Amino acid sequence: MVPPGTSRRAVVLASGGLDSTVTAALAKDAGYELLWLTIDYGQRHAVEVANAREVARVMHAAKHTVLSVDLRALGGSALTGETAVPKDRHRAERSHGIPITYVPGRNLVFLSLAAAHAEIEGASQIYFGANVVDYSGYPDCRPEFIHAFEAAVAAGTKAGAEGTAVRICAPLLEMTKADIIRTGIRLGVPLHLTHSCYDPVGGLACGRCDSCLIRREGFSRAGVEDPIRYAVR
């Protein structure tokens, strides 16, 4: 629940994906007024921005801000360039090394924008859907990164200087994908509106990229049917 004496407002980094949507539901369940922040960064799977708008509407976000930051101009990732997105990788392959779908600086940029938004809006928390259990090797989803960023925000913002630094909350950090899905079902999350695919085929998830495979494995282990449509089942 919201700690006594702190703002009841929270910024949620909301991509329209499964993890960020469940994270938003947990923030709402904790009693926060939700300020959704979605970043359109030139990603290959830009359809997720439209999904985020719809999920925000259905979940009655108090405010939804969409910011455009052109990371495609920098490149360096299969999500912001022409490099092919890896497909059909086994779990062992996904658990070693940093994949080409890593976007340099993405979460650093996203959390910086969220911190600025939180300071302007008087929010006390940033809810961030990072996960280190069923993840694809991204270094900017680790607890070390989150703690370091939180310290930087405390040291480098007006709110931090005045003793009201914004805190980073990553409630899914050590949850399995199956547990995230079960939590979403318990909280009534519109899972059918969430988007996880890195390389969609028209309006369908590809079913073969790392993100699709992790999602599908999670639903299977949760014993629940995934409500979204795939190009390849």
Alpha helix (H) ranges present in 63-186?
Answer: 91-94, 106-121, 143-156, 158-161, 177-186
| pLDDT > 80? residue 2 | no
Helix H or strand E segment including 48: helix 47-58
pTM for the whole thing? 0.95
| Mean local confidence (pLDDT), 18-43 | 97
72 vs 134, higher pLDDT: 72
What pLDDT is recorded for position 143?
A: 93
With CA atoms as reference, report the closest residue to 37 among 26, 45, 29, 23: 23
pLDDT at position 135: 63
Per-residue pLDDT averaged across 84-104, rounded? 91
Domain boundaries, the chain: 9-222
| pLDDT digits 0-9 by tens, 202-212 | 889 999 999 99
Which architecture, in CATH terms, is 9-222?
3-Layer(aba) Sandwich (3.40)
**What's the pLDDT tens digit per position in 110-152?**
999 999 999 999 999 999 999 988 766 789 999 999 999 999 9
Do 35 and 9 meet the contact criterion of CB atoms below 8 Å apart? yes
pLDDT at 224 over 80: yes
- DSSP-assigned beta bridge partners for residue 9: 33
Percentage of the chain surpassing pLDDT 90? 88
- In this structure, are residues 62 and 31 in contact, taking their beta carbons and an 8 Å threshold? no
For residue 93, name the pLDDT band (cuts at 50, 70, 90).
confident
- The mean pLDDT value of the chain amounts to 94
Q: Is the pLDDT of residue 62 over 80?
A: yes
Grade residue 106 by pLDDT with cuts at 50, 70 and 90.
very high
Does residue 18 carry a pLDDT above 90? yes
Q: What pLDDT is stored for residue 136 in this prediction?
A: 64
Q: Which residue has the higher pLDDT, 80 or 137?
A: 80
Q: How far apart are CA 125 and CA 115, in angstroms?
A: 9
- pLDDT at position 133 is 81
